[in-house]
Chain A
Amino acid sequence: MWRWFRRKESELDDEIRFHLEVEAEERMRGGLSPEEARYAAHKAFGNVAAVKEVTRGMWGWTSLEQLGRDGRYAVRALAHSPVFAITAVLSLGLGAGANIASFSIADSFLLQPLPVADPGELLAIHTQTPHRPLDTVSYPVWRDIGSRVRAFRGVTGHQLTRFAFASHSNEVPQMRFGLEVTDGFFPVLGVAPAKGRALADGSIDEVLLGHDFWRQQFGADAGVVGSTVHINGKAFTVVGVAPEQFTGMDAFLRPAFFLPVAAANRGDRSRTELLEDRMQRRMQIRARLRPGVTKEQAQAELTSLSAALGAEFPNEKESLELRAYTELELRFRESPQRVGLVAALFVLSLAVLGVACANIAGLLLARAGARSREVAVRLSIGAGAGRLVRQFLTESVVLSLAGSVAGVAMAFGAMQLLERFQLPTDTPIVIATRMNSRVLFFALGLSGAAAMLFGLAPALRAVKLDILSSLRAGEGRTTGGHGNWGRSALVVSQVAVSLVLLVTTGILLDAFRGMLVLNPGIQTNHLMMFEFDTALSGYRPERSRVFFDNLTDRVRALPGVRSATLTRAIPFRPNFTEQPVVPEGFEFPKNQTSVLVTTNSVGKDYFRTVETRLIAGRVFDDRDTASTVPVGIVNQEFARRYWPGQEALGKRFRIGEAGQWVQVVGVAETGKYLVLTEAPTPYVYVPYAQRPEPRMALLVRTEGDPASVTQPVREIVHALDANQPVFNVRPFAEFYEQGVLGMARLTLEMVGVLGLLGFGLALVGLYGLIAYTVSRRTREIGIRMAIGAGRAGVVTMVLRQALVLVGIGVVVGLALCVPVYRLLGAALVGVGGASPWMLVLVPLLLMITAMCACGVPALRAARIDPLVALRQD
């Protein structure tokens, strides 16, 4: 822009110089000396500077210059009323800051695109089954999509798996997440390794390190490329390092390394099945569209492929229905809770911003009232109304820019706080909220919109003034009894918005506080957890069983240990497996032959160790072995749902539609399994002895400090097998506090802060607005007193008028609460009813504020001498 201006300027100089020279030459030909000719040419031309000035005016720069002038004027005007400016900037800063923080959370949860080339071309492909609306896809089907769907340029699959990783064969392996990827993963995504090369197609013994892992584990040593590492006991060659920005395919879980899914062929039998079994639907598929092909065309091909595969493999139990989603659609479907959290934060922060805007609009209106004389003068000396509106708007824009700078600063602080928050697992979960261009763009758009919102109305109002009357009357009378519709509306909307804000905050606080006091169904103190995965060290099932039996026997014998048990699933950790279960005698809805129920393999002493109450029957004990009748324990909810009104003990169910019958020997109390706010969920326990698993957690109930058994347990493990990795070693209470309650507490704090913020802003704004309105009426009150109105009468009148406005606001606000409440209830699990105290307390507080706000200035007005009040200008 500036360069353009400079070029224009020098061209203009050249043009005029040329003119003068030609003119002078002509005069020289006419007989003048060069000196005289030049002089005459200049004289004939006139004032060069003035001509240039007028010419420049033709370039369309005047409006920009005016803008600059308006800006300077606005800054000066704001500097003249610092209290107003600071209040406005702070209000807007808080409002904008809350929104920017919410947006950046939304951004990191939902919006951040995959760190790959042209993420917009990628589609995610999942399959639908009657049980699972969003299921992953099997390896053979990945191959089918790649070879039979023409809409895609490339198709790739991946899945996160735990591996035992060791840099040397004699090192104790550590548990790490690796991303198993199909051929073509890196080229299809367009990710080029930072070091070395990508995995070769068809290789089964190559590994590519993640950038973070490479730095932590190998100190960013480039020499590691080409060396050998051990994964699940097998040798792999490091062929490269992923670029820093490619952190995997999940926003939170970052894999330590990438390895070919085909490497499963070198593992045990259960892993080999992964590559052939069409029922092992575990691959996340991403496909890159060919240029010019639409998602709909791809979907049409996928639909016909699903039908074809259904015909080719009729004995697959669950039909295949392939669906293409954009990344954003997928994220919305995958985690409605995240969407709910984001929605709740947005509702709140938008309400805070609304209150802030109302505050500023009130302030600006007041200012516009106070400036009516200035406006009148400027109008009467010929300023156009449009010009004045622009001036006022410029002031709002300057305010909003300052506000958004303050907002960005505050949001930045809030995000630093969020970044400190870490989930207590060995898993590298990263909440990466970042200031990025999207966030800043959002901030600017938001403050621009806010400026329009709160700037336009006062500006329009100001220029509609009757010039003559406001010149004559000065500032005092223009805001008399009539024509205050705008300000009344503002008071009403201010009250309404703050009511919505507060009730929403209250609902959310109630919901999250409810989480903190909920009974998790297990006793979390004096409980220590250890995790093992014997498959990682290549144990056969028999060896694994012996290892776990020995382990629990020896741990039980440790001093200070009350009991110890094995469990496949750790409560509140999302690593449950839901399995199709067929409860005997249950009548299924049409087209359904089983229900999905979470099942857990637990050792004996489980219920005693976690202290979950058994309602009826017995716990698992040494009677239950691999050779005896399969037994199981269901929770009350299971019994209630599938055998309503019947005795559950002695009933049977199958796990898997063709599974053996399992006899119910006990009924356990329904607890919380995944989140504290979940609805009662059916749950099934089976004995470890009858359903052994390679991956188990050891839970130890101790007499004293749970951490005191850490070392003894490690020693026992070391004595059993020096190469057996132990991971996620921590007191259960710590995991529970931080991992389960921490999230709730964090949300609670955020919501609470937002709510308080909004409330503070609302009260200040309401007070200011009403107090200002009343103080404008000092003169009117003086007149009323002078003609005989009593002091009490005047104060009552003012109070009554204010209370009517606040009352209307309360009614409007309560009406608005209904849809907001519906929205929250739909988006967020565990939102209970609005408790009555909020519906009473909040309006009451607003009323009291309003009364103080008009009471104080009204009393002051009533107390002054009517004569002074009348003279007041």
Chain B
Amino acid sequence: MPPRDTASNQIELMQGTLDMLILRTLQWGPQHGHGIGQMIRASSGDVLQVEHGSLYPALHRLEKKGWLAYEWKASESNRRAKYYRLTPAGKKQLTQEQSRWNTLVATIARIMDPAAEA
């Protein structure tokens, strides 16, 4: 288990959503691991804290599945960094996950708050 030093206003990521977030983030263009983590946090308004302990395994897992490709190139600070980018298969995966996510959210919302439906 990664150490738990997250602030109380941060919530843990639901299982399986990290992959989707990574794919989504990479839609903006190639990025290295650190950058991906920062971008997820920034775009969630600091609510989502990505554990490094799960970020890197996730990146390698997505790479093995063929959804991500990488290349080594110079970063903004002019260091050699591993930049990940979406592959065509990854783009397809992202659309799939997105629609599944939308269904899931709608379904859960319906269960949790049946009144809102009507």
Q: A interface vs B, CB < 8 Å?
A: 11-12, 14-16, 18-19, 21-23, 25, 44-47, 50-51, 54-55, 57-60
How many residues of B sit at the interface, in one of the four size bands?
A: 20 to 34
Instruction: Tell me how far the C-beta of A265 lies from the nearest C-beta in chain B, rounded to whole angstroms.
Output: 70
Partner of B77, one of A12, A15, A22: A22
Q: Is the CB of A44 within 8 A of B52?
A: yes
Top 8 A-B pairs ranked by shortest CB distance? A58-B60, A58-B61, A19-B34, A54-B57, A55-B57, A15-B82, A55-B56, A45-B52
Instruction: Tell me how far the C-beta of A49 lies from the nearest C-beta in chain B, rounded to whole angstroms.
Output: 11
Q: Is the CB of A46 within 8 A of B3?
A: yes
Contacts of A47 in B (CB 8 A): 2-3, 53
Alpha-carbon gap, A54 to B2, bound state (A): 11
Alpha-carbon gap, A47 to B51, bound state (A): 11
Instruction: Tell me how far the C-beta of B81 lies from the nearest C-beta in chain A, rounded to whole angstroms.
Output: 5
Across chains A and B, the number of contacting residue pairs, with CB separation under 8 Å, is 63
Instruction: Tell me how far the C-beta of A293 lies from the nearest C-beta in chain B, rounded to whole angstroms.
Output: 41
A8 (CB) vs chain B CBs: closest residue: B60
Within 8 A of A (CB), among B72-97: 72, 75, 77, 79-82
Q: Is the CB of A18 within 8 A of B56?
A: no
Q: Is the CB of B79 within 8 A of A18?
A: yes
Alpha-carbon gap, A58 to B75, bound state (A): 25
Contacts of A11 in B (CB 8 A): 72, 82
Contacts of A16 in B (CB 8 A): 56
Q: Is the CB of B61 within 8 A of A19?
A: no
Q: Is the CB of B64 within 8 A of A18?
A: no
B54 (CB) vs chain A CBs: closest residue: A54
Alpha-carbon gap, A22 to B53, bound state (A): 17
Partner of B51, one of A22, A46, A58: A46
**Secondary structure of the A contact surface, majority rule:** helix
Q: Is the CB of B75 within 8 A of A51?
A: no
Alpha-carbon gap, A579 to B34, bound state (A): 92
In the complex with contacts A22-B77, A55-B57, A46-B34 CB distance below 8 A: no
Q: B interface vs A, CB < 8 Å?
A: 2-3, 32-34, 51-54, 56-57, 59-61, 64, 72, 75, 77, 79-82
Contacts of B51 in A (CB 8 A): 46
Contacts of A51 in B (CB 8 A): 52-53, 56-57
Give 19 A-B pairs besides A12-B60, A19-B32, A47-B2 with Cβ atoms closer than 8 angstroms. Answer: A12-B56, A14-B80, A18-B34, A18-B82, A19-B52, A21-B79, A22-B79, A25-B77, A46-B52, A47-B53, A50-B53, A51-B53, A51-B57, A54-B54, A54-B57, A55-B59, A58-B61, A58-B64, A60-B64
Contacts of A44 in B (CB 8 A): 52
Contacts of A50 in B (CB 8 A): 53
Q: Is the CB of B60 within 8 A of A23?
A: no
In the complex with contacts A59-B60, A60-B64, A18-B52 CB distance below 8 A: no
Q: Is the CB of A22 within 8 A of B34?
A: yes
Name which of A23, A44, A51 has the most chain B CB atoms within 10 A of its CB: A51
Instruction: Tell me how far the C-beta of A65 lies from the nearest C-beta in chain B, rounded to whole angstroms.
Output: 16
Contacts of B77 in A (CB 8 A): 22, 25
Instruction: Tell me how far the C-beta of B115 lies from the nearest C-beta in chain A, rounded to whole angstroms.
Output: 42
Instruction: Tell me how far the C-beta of B23 lies from the nearest C-beta in chain A, rounded to whole angstroms.
Output: 16
Partner of A46, one of B2, B57, B60, B81: B2
Alpha-carbon gap, A68 to B64, bound state (A): 22
Alpha-carbon gap, A234 to B101, bound state (A): 94
Alpha-carbon gap, A293 to B116, bound state (A): 75
Contacts of B3 in A (CB 8 A): 46-47
Alpha-carbon gap, A21 to B2, bound state (A): 20
Contacts of B64 in A (CB 8 A): 58-60
Instruction: Tell me how far the C-beta of A38 lies from the nearest C-beta in chain B, rounded to whole angstroms.
Output: 15
Alpha-carbon gap, A366 to B28, bound state (A): 63
Contacts of B53 in A (CB 8 A): 46-47, 50-51, 54
Alpha-carbon gap, A155 to B103, bound state (A): 72
Instruction: Tell me how far the C-beta of A44 lies from the nearest C-beta in chain B, rounded to whole angstroms.
Output: 7
Alpha-carbon gap, A19 to B72, bound state (A): 14
Alpha-carbon gap, A246 to B81, bound state (A): 57
Instruction: Tell me how far the C-beta of B33 lies from the nearest C-beta in chain A, rounded to whole angstroms.
Output: 6
Q: Is the CB of B82 within 8 A of A14?
A: yes
Alpha-carbon gap, A45 to B51, bound state (A): 8
Q: Is the CB of A18 within 8 A of B80?
A: yes
Contacts of B61 in A (CB 8 A): 58
Instruction: Tell me how far the C-beta of B66 lies from the nearest C-beta in chain A, rounded to whole angstroms.
Output: 12
Name which of B60, B61, B72, B82 has the most chain A CB atoms within 10 A of its CB: B60
A19 (CB) vs chain B CBs: closest residue: B34
Contacts of A21 in B (CB 8 A): 79
A50 (CB) vs chain B CBs: closest residue: B53
Instruction: Tell me how far the C-beta of B1 lies from the nearest C-beta in chain A, rounded to whole angstroms.
Output: 9
Contacts of A19 in B (CB 8 A): 32-34, 52
Instruction: Tell me how far the C-beta of B92 lies from the nearest C-beta in chain A, rounded to whole angstroms.
Output: 21
Instruction: Tell me how far the C-beta of A690 lies from the nearest C-beta in chain B, rounded to whole angstroms.
Output: 87
Alpha-carbon gap, A59 to B56, bound state (A): 12
Q: Is the CB of A18 within 8 A of B57?
A: no
In the complex with contacts A22-B75, A22-B77, A59-B64, A15-B56 CB distance below 8 A: yes
Alpha-carbon gap, A44 to B2, bound state (A): 10
B76 (CB) vs chain A CBs: closest residue: A22
Instruction: Tell me how far the C-beta of B68 lies from the nearest C-beta in chain A, rounded to whole angstroms.
Output: 12
A53 (CB) vs chain B CBs: closest residue: B57
Alpha-carbon gap, A249 to B98, bound state (A): 69
Alpha-carbon gap, A16 to B81, bound state (A): 10
Alpha-carbon gap, A23 to B32, bound state (A): 13
Contacts of B56 in A (CB 8 A): 12, 15-16, 51, 54-55
Q: Is the CB of B32 within 8 A of A18?
A: yes
Contacts of B72 in A (CB 8 A): 11, 14
B56 (CB) vs chain A CBs: closest residue: A55
Instruction: Tell me how far the C-beta of A60 lies from the nearest C-beta in chain B, rounded to whole angstroms.
Output: 6
A54 (CB) vs chain B CBs: closest residue: B57
Alpha-carbon gap, A16 to B56, bound state (A): 9
B51 (CB) vs chain A CBs: closest residue: A46
Contacts of B52 in A (CB 8 A): 19, 44-46, 51
Alpha-carbon gap, A15 to B82, bound state (A): 6
Contacts of B79 in A (CB 8 A): 18, 21-22
Instruction: Tell me how far the C-beta of A13 lies from the nearest C-beta in chain B, rounded to whole angstroms.
Output: 11
Alpha-carbon gap, A22 to B75, bound state (A): 10
Alpha-carbon gap, A12 to B72, bound state (A): 12
Name which of A15, A21, A45, A51 has the most chain B CB atoms within 10 A of its CB: A15
Q: Is the CB of A15 within 8 A of B33?
A: yes
Contacts of B57 in A (CB 8 A): 51, 54-55, 57-58
A11 (CB) vs chain B CBs: closest residue: B82
Contacts of A54 in B (CB 8 A): 53-54, 56-57
Instruction: Tell me how far the C-beta of B64 lies from the nearest C-beta in chain A, rounded to whole angstroms.
Output: 6
Contacts of B60 in A (CB 8 A): 12, 55, 58-59
Alpha-carbon gap, A12 to B7, bound state (A): 29
Contacts of A60 in B (CB 8 A): 64
Alpha-carbon gap, A12 to B70, bound state (A): 12
Alpha-carbon gap, A44 to B41, bound state (A): 14
Partner of B75, one of A18, A45, A57: A18
Contacts of A45 in B (CB 8 A): 52
B35 (CB) vs chain A CBs: closest residue: A22
Between A and B, 14 residue pairs with Cβ closer than 8 Å are A14-B80, A15-B33, A18-B75, A19-B34, A22-B79, A25-B77, A46-B3, A46-B52, A47-B2, A51-B52, A54-B57, A55-B59, A59-B60, A60-B64
Contacts of A57 in B (CB 8 A): 57
Partner of B81, one of A12, A18, A55, A59: A18
Alpha-carbon gap, A55 to B82, bound state (A): 15
Alpha-carbon gap, A12 to B85, bound state (A): 17
Instruction: Tell me how far the C-beta of A510 lies from the nearest C-beta in chain B, rounded to whole angstroms.
Output: 63
Instruction: Tell me how far the C-beta of A318 lies from the nearest C-beta in chain B, rounded to whole angstroms.
Output: 67
Instruction: Tell me how far the C-beta of B42 lies from the nearest C-beta in chain A, rounded to whole angstroms.
Output: 13
B82 (CB) vs chain A CBs: closest residue: A15
A25 (CB) vs chain B CBs: closest residue: B77
Alpha-carbon gap, A16 to B79, bound state (A): 13
Contacts of B34 in A (CB 8 A): 18-19, 22-23
B79 (CB) vs chain A CBs: closest residue: A18
Contacts of B54 in A (CB 8 A): 54
